Structure 1
Amino acid sequence: MGLSKENILPVESPHEYYTEAEKKEITKWYKKILRGAKEHIKEGDTKLIRKALDISMEAHKEMRRKSGEPYIYHPLEVAYICVEEIGLGPTSIICALLHDVVEDTAITLAEIEKDFGPKVAQIIDGLTKIAENFEQTQSAQAENFRKMLLTLSQDVRVILIKLADRLHNMRTLGSMARNSQLKIAHETIYIYAPLAHRLGLYQIKSELEDLYLKYTEPEVYKDISSRLNTSKTARKKLIDGFMRPISKRLKEAKLDFYIKGRPKHIYSIWKKLNAQNVTFENIYDLFAIRIILRGIPPQEKEKEKAACWQAYSIVTDEYRPNPDRLKDWISTPRANGYESLHTTVMSNAGVWVEVQIRTERMDEIAEKGYAAHWKYKGADTSLDKPLDNWLNQVRDTLASKDSSAIEFLEDFRGNLFNEEIFVFTPKGDLKVLRKGATVLDFAFDVHTEIGRKCTAGKVNSHLVPISHVLQNGDQVEILTTKNQKPSEDWLRFVVTSKAKARIKDTLKESNKGYITEGKEIIIKKLKNLGLENNLETFNQLRAFFNKKDYNELFYFFGKGYILPDEIKKFKHEREALVNRQKKIVIDEKAFKDAKSFEKEIKQTKGNDTLLIGDDMQHIDFTLSRCCNPIPGDDVFGFLTINEGIKIHRNLCPNAQQLLSNYGNRVIKARWASQIEKSYLVSIDLSGIDRVGMIQDISKVISGELHINMRGLSVETFDGIFEGKIKVYVFDTKHLDILMSKLEEIDGVSNVSRGQTE
């Protein structure tokens, strides 16, 4: 839950738990927490907080981190993050101090409830991992996410404390083993950073994303960080010059304000570099300037809005705005309550600058999110709407009890990405939907029964099918018929969690018969083929037919989508795999999770890391085709159910899902130094077309570097060419040399590593 068990070491001397210096450090953190929460603390709170600290200190007294620090520092720092960076109060402090005691020590939930009441016990329960073992088809990680997220509809503080816990874990990730770093970092980017974003915790979300990059792509992180530091002086000079005329006019307009200038976060720069395939120097909005207006009472929303638009007018009078970059989140706030005006303008220095304009209230909600939202809630009930609407969507997802944990998690994540569209009912009521939403999504958002009976829609008075994708500002009318029923086909085009959950609920009722029938068909065929009717066979069948759980497997057989004779193919392939010894075998033992594998390999080989290409280890593995790793790539091993160990790049398109859902099957892996073999990679390049371009590319590859080329395809359009080359290289250094040489060719503007099919 908190820090991994591998990060905890027992104290050698059981009677000397805390030194005098450590007691002073604990007292220092305790005082900082109380000072930070001063405005929230009422009579009697301090006594309860002190009691929680005493219990936590006693419970964790024999636990130490690898650095030698007492484990108690972790809950203290989590509590401080809750207070200082999120703005939570006494109940959350108590829960943060106690968040690991039920999971890691002998203290029970009943004891917590007796000492602190049912509310604290409920939150601690939401923060405690499930202890049961799971079958291979299930994901313990996803089950624990589901348990935690189910508490969201009861008390959002569970999630806020968990985010504080995760932030501190990410800040202290350096001492963890490499496979643990990857697992935790990918979990963070998969669920926790989007969750922080949706709850409006911008700073926490950005720091989690930056730390993810720091541990998954350390060289890239260092490079961008170094470039930002180098350009700091020039950036400050540009900001000062940019703001001088604006500040003068804001003062003349008698607007009370202050300025925050900040570079874009490292992760967002990295994403932009990849998405746009540009260099660092060519990112046009590397930093943003925030104008924060103060002195306006939070209750006077119209005055806030008028002041922001007045400041916007001053900025755009001084500098020419990009008309496509105006974002008005004041008139229609984002679903996480975020309010701000954004525009991008051209400075006198010829650089695009993003300007954000907001009031102090808006800024606090943008920084501290959900907690700040509730602080201002009493000022204006309209503030409730965006967040309450989102929580209602979440409750709809949580209401679906039958889905697998992974299916649930994917549906829940659909609620976290908040690119939105605003559409209207025939009466003019506003509906906020996820971008990509269809007429059918809209129908389910209005009412479940309207969704189930929906046959078509009218968008801006034009008749459209239920799969029609809606755009901002559309006015939608739903047409229904009595005999309409949901079909599986509907799941192909709906995007909102509510629509998916309601369609699945309806289909599950009618599918129960097919599931029962499918199971019987499989059991009968297994018997005919002389195959064992046991859990391992069903696991292998599910993996072979690429189904996410048993029910889906049974359903496909019951419906006739998969014919019984297909099991013969499964039998032949399984026998072939056994003959080729594709299972993970060390001393004739097969392993299904990373811990048992690492324990055995350490005992027999003296090292718990798989060395790729070391024939002395006698361990079978395959290089995954989804990302085609080559020597020099940062990689991890993954224990599959049917196909032994697969080696994936850290940046594999499937890495996030594997590491977030099946972290217990991820093993440490690195390349053996003696490996000498060529590997197929794909390179994408583009630029200005000219006569002789293909000849020059071929000359660099085959003539200068003597690299074996498997394929070259080039397309040209209006003087611009785009090409894909498939070549064999020895490692990442070899690849880097080739890419550098290609970049030097006259007319070539972009060279990047592509996906090999």
Structure 2
Amino acid sequence: MSAPAREVRNEIIYQGRKLAVDDDWLDDLRLRIDDLCAIAGEYLEPDQVDQLREACYFATEAHAGVYRKSGEPYIFHPLAVARILANVRFDHETLQGALLHDVIEDTPYSKEQIGVHFGPEVANLVDGVSKLTQIQFNSKLEAQAENFRKMFLAMAKDLRVIMIKLADRLHNMRTLGAMRPESRRRIARETLEIYAPIAGRLGMNHLRQELEDLGLSHLHPLRFQILQDAVRKMSGNRREIVGQLEARIQSRLEDEGITARVMGRSKHLWGIYQKMRHKRLPFKEVYDVYAVRIIVENADTCYRVLGAMHSLYKPIMGRFKDYIAIPKANGYQSLHTVLFGPNGVPIEAQIRTEEMHVMAEVGVAAHWRYKSGSDGQGSHAQQRAREWLRKLLDMQRRAGNPVEFLESVKVDLFPDEVYVFTPRGEIIELPRGATAVDFAYAIHSDVGNTCVGAKVDRRLAPLRTPLSTGQTVEVIITPTARPNPAWLNFVVTAKARASIRHYLKHLQREEAILLGKRLLEKALIGHTGGLGELPTEHLRSLVQEFNLSSFDDLLADIGLGNRVAALIAKRLMPEDGTDETTSPDASTQPLLIKGTEGTVVSFGKCCRPLPGDAIIGYLNTGRGIVVHRDHCKNIAGYRKNPDKWIEVEWEPHVNADFGAELRLDVVNRRGVLATIAAAISATDSNIETINTSERDGNTTTVHLLLNVRDRAHLARVIRQLRTLPEALKLVRRG
């Protein structure tokens, strides 16, 4: 530790040097440092307060000569951030980290230098908050996403990282007026989308509400002002009514022998604004709800108070929630009920203990425990927060890129909880709208990947069925099953979405490598003996030239259509271009299509080719080969890229089902659809979709999408349909 700083009337001497602070700001700086140390001194040891003061002077020297857009010295910002955390009684390492949080990012000091002065724990906190400023990104979104990914990784190691970041963002929002309007809107939107929900997820509701109100004031300043004025006008009239409510409730509880604190609770502006938007309600209907909070000694008394409130005012059915028995994801506990108050005015009541109240306001910051020799588990809320962070880490490992990870986090930050049960009675918490697939992935990724069905309250239900609180869900699995890409259309949890994408990407990569190998082998036929006879050094140099990590990456690029196999083959051929085994027609042999290649070989929905049709393949970047019928109308538009076309043929024995579209004009009679379905079923075919459109009063056009094996199978279906007396005209589409 360096020598302590000395203060004289007009200067501060630190490490033998006068700190570079303008005389105009010197008294203000002294006052702010003393104020911070006084707050911290209420709960920290004297030597810890001395270390905090040392960090104040170190940060002052590091940021010397730098000013904020408001014109004040930059050091005032980290002092304010540390003060926010000191008010919540964070440990001295966190406060030092807050004071130094911009030092690595904005000054020449390194993480190692901070570690030498204040220890590795503080250095890790500062590094976790610092942005990745040395890396070049393609876009602001990519930079934002990568910085958030770094922050979440640091959070998983030490939760205090996000506490510093939240306090930093809160002070920035309080002083955002000095920024340009477009910067204010961008920062406000980021605050509302990321930081405020994180604060809520960690149970820090007081901080969340201030972030939300500040975000609204900068994102929609006119709307904020109108709402603020409307609340101010109505508050005068409401104060007397709320006072009467408090007095009547207090009197009733005293009659029951219950000691409690009763207080009115005001809604914050962002909550009013959101309810008006989502429920399309006018301001009077949203604000015409009176809210009270009742705080008692223990959980048993909470339920006694609930009974007293329900006898005093009639409860509104379906508006009671017991978050004491089943806490929210962030550890929040309370009883919520809505009552018919005087003259039918709704009253929202929250009943909780003193400890629950502290937890509701500051969440994971309550009862902070980072003591040497402890197990480091901290409070119940901290354990829940760490569990959430473990899920985020699992998501980021599965995410393909930082932007995808950030989108997954955003989805996960807005839960409106549903509580369902496993067959063993365990509670699984899911966001509202979650399906049986989300439930399966919440149990385990392997369960989600192999699920084929579900039982909800012992009855079979589709996997896309939204779940409701109180239901018991059982997942049916098959070891050979795999995720369906269509699940991405209805799953709502970030874990399910990330797991499905990860599985499909891994599967697509394997399929792309196999297809790329087939395409490259085909391009090399007649020029070499095949990939196996090419020199390893030649393959390695080509991989390095393309800046890839392995030859499999090159094969995957070929399979996905990102690189042309013929051009890669030319690079791999002997330099003199001669080979006695060369056959001019060998490399033009068509690629055989099995129909089971997976995601890297798809079939054009414009023409829906079937085994037996003459076909041609188009290399579509990122998708692999798209197979069309050779007379498809879309082929003409692709002809401008001849190097993308590849000769393909069906294998002699194809064992798969394919889609075929038919358009059938029929006489409009009762039961005609049943007749059509029976005729198709008789040919061992299956109807995937059926749509009808009435042409006139006598004729209806039926559009059919069928599953058939090949062209011959489709011909049997067509012959069967043409025998129907109701059939007028039948054509195959595409």
TM-score, normalized by length of structure 1? 0.64
CA displacement 1:414-470 (0-9 Å, x = unmatched): 221231111111111121122222222222222222222211122211122333322
1:144 aligns with 2:147: yes
CA displacement 1:108-161 (0-9 Å, x = unmatched): 111112222222222211111112111249621111111112212111111111
Specify the SS of the correspondent of 2:183: helix
Q: Is the 8 A contact 1:518 1:555 kept in 2?
A: no
Q: Report the alpha carbon displacement of residue 506 of structure 1 after superposing the two structures with TM.
A: 2.1
2:668 maps to: none
Query: Residues of 1 paired with 2:465 and 2:179: CA distance?
Result: 48
1:501 maps to: 498
Choose which of 319, 324, 343 in structure 2 pairs with 1:325.
319
Higher relative contact order (CA 8 A, sep 6+): 1
2:93 maps to: 91
Specify the SS of the correspondent of 1:338: coil
Q: Is the 8 A contact 2:453 2:462 kept in 1?
A: yes
Choose which of 461, 466, 471 in structure 1 pairs with 2:468.
471
1:549 maps to: none
2:116 maps to: 114
Specify the SS of the correspondent of 1:68: coil
- Does the C-alpha gap of structure 1 residues 135 and 242 become closer, same or farther in structure 2, counting only changes over 3 Å? same
Choose which of 183, 200, 203 in structure 1 pairs with 2:203.
200
1:233 aligns with 2:255: no
1:557 maps to: 623
1:345 aligns with 2:347: no
Structure 1 segment 257-296 matched on structure 2, within 5 A: 257-283=260-286, 285-293=288-296, 296=297
Query: Residues of 1 paired with 2:228 and 2:494: CA distance?
Result: 37
Query: Residues of 1 paired with 2:625 and 2:291: CA distance?
Result: 55
Paired amino acid for 2:473: V
Q: Report the alpha carbon displacement of residue 391 of structure 1 after superposing the two structures with TM.
A: 3.3
Query: Residues of 2 paired with 1:109 and 1:243: CA distance?
Result: 54
1:393 maps to: 391
Choose which of 26, 31, 36 in structure 1 pairs with 2:29.
26
Structure 1 segment 481-500 matched on structure 2, within 5 A: 481-500=478-497
Q: Is the 8 A contact 1:41 1:89 kept in 2?
A: yes
1:64 aligns with 2:67: yes
Listed as ranges, the gaps of 5+ residues in structure 2 are 1-16, 514-555, 568-618, 642-734
Q: Report the alpha carbon displacement of residue 267 of structure 1 after superposing the two structures with TM.
A: 1.3
Query: Residues of 1 paired with 2:35 and 2:639: CA distance?
Result: 62
Specify the SS of the correspondent of 2:37: helix
1:439 maps to: 436
1:429 aligns with 2:426: yes
Specify the SS of the correspondent of 2:623: helix
- Does the C-alpha gap of structure 1 residues 388 and 56 become closer, same or farther in structure 2, counting only changes over 3 Å? closer
Choose which of 49, 52, 58 in structure 2 pairs with 1:49.
52
Q: Is the 8 A contact 1:30 1:76 kept in 2?
A: yes
Query: Residues of 1 paired with 2:323 and 2:304: CA distance?
Result: 15
2:651 maps to: none
Choose which of 391, 406, 412 in structure 1 pairs with 2:403.
406
Q: Is the 8 A contact 1:238 1:349 kept in 2?
A: no
Q: Is the 8 A contact 2:40 2:49 kept in 1?
A: no
Paired amino acid for 1:80: R
Choose which of 154, 157, 180 in structure 2 pairs with 1:154.
157
CA displacement 1:182-210 (0-9 Å, x = unmatched): 11011111111111111111111111111
Q: Is the 8 A contact 1:287 1:354 kept in 2?
A: yes
The number of aligned residues is 524
Q: Report the alpha carbon displacement of residue 492 of structure 1 after superposing the two structures with TM.
A: 2.5
Specify the SS of the correspondent of 1:473: coil
Choose which of 74, 78, 83 in structure 2 pairs with 1:75.
78
Q: Report the alpha carbon displacement of residue 517 of structure 1 after superposing the two structures with TM.
A: 4.0
Specify the SS of the correspondent of 1:213: helix
Two-structure CA RMSD over aligned residues (Å) = 3.3
- Does the C-alpha gap of structure 1 residues 524 and 391 become closer, same or farther in structure 2, counting only changes over 3 Å? closer
Query: Residues of 1 paired with 2:214 and 2:310: CA distance?
Result: 36
1:215 aligns with 2:218: yes
Paired amino acid for 2:334: S
Query: Residues of 1 paired with 2:620 and 2:62: CA distance?
Result: 47
Q: Is the 8 A contact 2:557 2:563 kept in 1?
A: no
- Does the C-alpha gap of structure 1 residues 393 and 46 become closer, same or farther in structure 2, counting only changes over 3 Å? same
What percentage of aligned pairs have identical amino acids? 37
Query: Residues of 2 paired with 1:407 and 1:566: CA distance?
Result: 34
2:330 maps to: 336
Q: Report the alpha carbon displacement of residue 409 of structure 1 after superposing the two structures with TM.
A: 0.6
Query: Residues of 1 paired with 2:565 and 2:377: CA distance?
Result: 67
1:754 maps to: none
1:364 maps to: 358
Larger Rg: 2
1:313 maps to: 307
> Once structures 1 and 2 are overlaid, which stretch shifts more, 461-470 or 264-273?
461-470
Q: Report the alpha carbon displacement of residue 567 of structure 1 after superposing the two structures with TM.
A: 12
Query: Residues of 2 paired with 1:231 and 1:520: CA distance?
Result: 63
Q: Is the 8 A contact 1:285 1:353 kept in 2?
A: no
Paired amino acid for 2:561: I
Q: Is the 8 A contact 2:368 2:378 kept in 1?
A: no
- Does the C-alpha gap of structure 1 residues 258 and 379 become closer, same or farther in structure 2, counting only changes over 3 Å? farther
1:102 maps to: 104
Listed as ranges, the gaps of 5+ residues in structure 1 are 1-13, 297-303, 528-552, 573-757
Paired amino acid for 2:351: I
Paired amino acid for 1:416: L
Specify the SS of the correspondent of 1:356: strand
Q: Report the alpha carbon displacement of residue 20 of structure 1 after superposing the two structures with TM.
A: 4.6
> Once structures 1 and 2 are overlaid, which stretch shifts more, 218-227 or 431-440?
431-440
> Once structures 1 and 2 are overlaid, which stretch shifts more, 510-519 or 467-476?
510-519
Specify the SS of the correspondent of 2:508: helix
Structure 1 segment 32-43 matched on structure 2, within 5 A: 32-38=35-41, 40-42=43-45
- Does the C-alpha gap of structure 1 residues 282 and 440 become closer, same or farther in structure 2, counting only changes over 3 Å? closer
> Once structures 1 and 2 are overlaid, which stretch shifts more, 201-210 or 23-32?
23-32
Q: Is the 8 A contact 1:263 1:286 kept in 2?
A: no
Query: Residues of 2 paired with 1:20 and 1:221: CA distance?
Result: 39
Q: Report the alpha carbon displacement of residue 393 of structure 1 after superposing the two structures with TM.
A: 2.4
1:732 maps to: none
Q: Is the 8 A contact 1:49 1:93 kept in 2?
A: yes
Paired amino acid for 2:122: V
CA displacement 1:552-610 (0-9 Å, x = unmatched): x98743163999989978999xxxxxxxxxxxxxxxxxxxxxxxxxxxxxxxxxxxxxx
Query: Residues of 1 paired with 2:144 and 2:160: CA distance?
Result: 20
- Does the C-alpha gap of structure 1 residues 53 and 436 become closer, same or farther in structure 2, counting only changes over 3 Å? same
- Does the C-alpha gap of structure 1 residues 51 and 438 become closer, same or farther in structure 2, counting only changes over 3 Å? same
